[in-house]
């Protein structure tokens, strides 16, 4: 009975985003191989095999997420949220700086038990989206606007602050993008957004001032005397360097990491030209100018863009457009506000990753360690993106059920 019901539901599934995701997964494995390639004399790093393993786990997980009614999942959102918050706290206490490829500048974001492990920040994003949409659904069109607003801000803030503490700025950026968009769609009052916007402006202003004085400090005699820089914001110096290297790269020597990754990535993407240099033939990647430590995950797009050229970029961006377009469609066609909100949150999750990652590889925004969905090497993120797509499908296939 239940199987039959599910089978009927499956017919409703949208194939396009699945196809796009599959293309991306295959491209991802192929180019993770390339990113691990260091000439014929040396063995290829085994990341591509591990990635295959993660895909084998991730795809069934995504199918599960698809088949389960999202409302059931959302009803248990406090549980998910609680678990991920617990894990985020645990990672701060017992976590390790990542081993393997993903090496954010010494952040404690990786939690391992035995041989397994991952980054709790990835499921935390989904859990937050679930709880947020469940919460906003409760208060949708209610009069207790302030309460719903403060509540959702709190829901966003807890994981956000925990992730910032690691510190993982990339992931931390994703939370507000998801939350604010969901809140916006959930018709939270405009005045609050204006307030947030104002706060954002003030924060950005402070950031500008901070970085400006940092640039002055870099050239000042105090730097030579190795005095600490007293900033306005509680940022680490490498954050400032990354931001500054995007604006004034001439302040840094080319070998400095902040500038190096950025310039090398731009060179990789740019030198790809129209049709690229061919698989395993991207010198930026093979010769290690694009550091081998980040090429398979955060800079996988640079590898693809170098070896497949603009055509490859079009393919990748096209696939994401299909998936995101599907997500937006899901948000519009969801049978209830809960589904709609959840879809918006999840779409924003994917979008934030895609935009920030590709943006940083082409120098549009500062270097922030953040993976690219379906393409980048990484276990927990692979699983969570599969689940995201599964949840979106779940909302989609349940759109016509009215009970």
Partner 1 sequence: MVGVMLFALLSILLLDLFWIQMVQGNVLEETRNRQSVRQVRLPAARGTIYDRNGEVLADVRPAFDLVVYLGEFRDQFRKEFKEKKKEFLTQLKQKDRKLTDKETEKLNLASRGHVIRKVLRKAGPLLEASYAVTDEEVTKHYVNQPSLPFTLAGNLNRAMLASFCERSGNVPGVDLQVRGVRNYPHGKLAAHILGYVGRETRPPDLNQEIRYYYFLPDIIGREGIEAAFDRELRGTAGGKSIVVDAMGHKRRELNVDLPVPGKDVYLTLDRRYQEIMERAMQGHVGAAVLMDPRNGDILAMASEPSFDPNYFINGIDAVLWRELADDPRKPLYHRAIAAGYAPGSVFKLVVALAGLRKGSINEQSVVKPMRNYPVGNRLFGDPQAEATPNMLVDMRTALKVSSNTFFYHYGILTGPDAILDMCNAFFLGERTDIPLFAQRRRADDDAFELVSQERAGSLPKIARRKGFNWGDGDTANLSIGQGELAVTPLQMACMTAAIANGGKLFWPRLVDRIARSSPSTDRPSEVEVVKVKLRDPPVLPVSVAHLDMVRAAMLACVQEDGGTGRRARVEGLSIAGKTGTAQYEKRENGVKVGIGHRAWFVSFAPYDHPRFAMAIVIEEGEAGGRIAAPVAEQIYSGILALESTPGSLPAQPVKVAVQGGGA
Residue whose C-alpha is closest to residue 134's, from 342, 332, 330, 396 = 342
Using CB under 8 A, pick the residue from 142, 317, 400, 401 that binds partner 1.
317
Does 266 bind partner 1 (CB under 8 A)? Our answer is yes
Does 315 bind partner 1 (CB under 8 A)? Our answer is no
In the sheet that 96-97 helps form, which strands lie side by side, from edge to edge?
96-97, 108-113, 116-118
Does 28 bind partner 1 (CB under 8 A)? Our answer is no
Number of residues interacting with partner 1: please give it, by CB under 8 A: 47
Does 324 bind partner 1 (CB under 8 A)? Our answer is yes
Using CB under 8 A, pick the residue from 138, 321, 400, 401 that binds partner 1.
321
Comparing CB distances to partner 1, the nearer of 236 and 292 is 292
Comparing CB distances to partner 1, the nearer of 96 and 275 is 275
Does 279 bind partner 1 (CB under 8 A)? Our answer is no
Using CB under 8 A, pick the residue from 55, 269, 300, 319 that binds partner 1.
269
Q: Which stretch binds partner 1 (CB under 8 A): 22-30, 134-142, 346-354, 378-386?
A: 346-354
Residues between 185 and 244 that touch partner 1 (CB under 8 A): 185, 224-227
Q: Which stretch binds partner 1 (CB under 8 A): 20-28, 103-111, 125-133, 283-291?
A: 283-291
Does 284 bind partner 1 (CB under 8 A)? Our answer is yes
Q: How far is the CB of 322 from partner 1 (least distance, A)?
A: 11
Q: How far is the CB of 365 from partner 1 (least distance, A)?
A: 11
Query: What is the Cα–Cα distance from 308 to 369, expressed in whole angstroms?
Result: 23
Does 309 bind partner 1 (CB under 8 A)? Our answer is yes
Contacting residues toward partner 1, per CB under 8 A = 39, 181, 184-185, 224-227, 255, 266-274, 283-284, 286-289, 291, 305, 309-310, 313-314, 317, 320-321, 324-325, 328, 331-332, 344, 347, 351, 354-355, 358-359, 362, 364
């Amino acid at each position: 009975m239940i199987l039959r019901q599910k089978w009927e539901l499956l017919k409703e599934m949208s194939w396009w985003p699945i196809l796009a995701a599959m293309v991306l997964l295959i491209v991802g494995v192929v180019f993770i191989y390339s990113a691990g390639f260091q000439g014929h004399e040396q063995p290829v790093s085994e990341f591509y095999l591990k990635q295959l393993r993660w895909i084998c786990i991730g795809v069934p997980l995504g199918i599960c997420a698809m088949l389960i009614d999202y409302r059931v999942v959302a009803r248990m959102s406090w549980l998910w949220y609680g678990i991920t918050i617990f894990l985020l706290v645990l990672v701060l206490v017992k976590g390790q700086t990542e081993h393997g490829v993903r090496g954010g500048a010494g952040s404690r974001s990786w939690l391992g038990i035995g041989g397994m492990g991952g980054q709790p920040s990835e499921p935390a994003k989904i859990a937050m989206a679930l709880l947020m949409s469940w919460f906003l659904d409760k208060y949708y069109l209610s009069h207790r606007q302030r309460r719903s607003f403060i509540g959702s801000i709190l829901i966003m803030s807890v994981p956000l602050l925990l992730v910032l503490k690691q510190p993982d700025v990339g992931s931390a950026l994703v939370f507000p993008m998801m939350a604010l968009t969901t809140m916006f769609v959930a018709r939270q009052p405009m005045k609050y957004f204006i307030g947030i916007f104002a706060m954002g402006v003030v924060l950005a202003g402070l950031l500008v001032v901070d970085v400006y004085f940092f640039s002055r400090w870099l050239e000042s005699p105090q730097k030579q005397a190795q005095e600490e820089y007293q900033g306005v914001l509680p940022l680490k110096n490498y954050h400032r360097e990354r931001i500054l290297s995007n604006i004034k790269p001439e302040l840094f020597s080319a070998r400095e990491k902040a500038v190096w990754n950025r310039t090398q990535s731009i060179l990789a993407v740019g030198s790809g030209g129209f049709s690229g240099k061919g698989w395993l033939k991207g010198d930026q990647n093979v010769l290690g100018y694009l550091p081998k430590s980040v090429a398979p995950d955060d800079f996988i797009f640079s590898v693809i863009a170098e070896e497949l050229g603009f055509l490859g970029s079009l393919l990748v961006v096209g696939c994401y457009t299909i998936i995101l377009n599907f997500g937006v469609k899901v948000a519009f066609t969801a049978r209830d506000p809960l589904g709609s909100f959840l879809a918006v949150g999840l779409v924003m999750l994917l979008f934030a990753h895609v935009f920030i990652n590709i943006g940083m590889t082409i120098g549009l925004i500062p270097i922030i360690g953040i993976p690219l969905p379906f393409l980048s090497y990484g276990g927990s993120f692979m699983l969570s993106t599969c689940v995201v797509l599964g949840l979106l499908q779940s909302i989609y296939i349940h759109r016509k059920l009215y009970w």
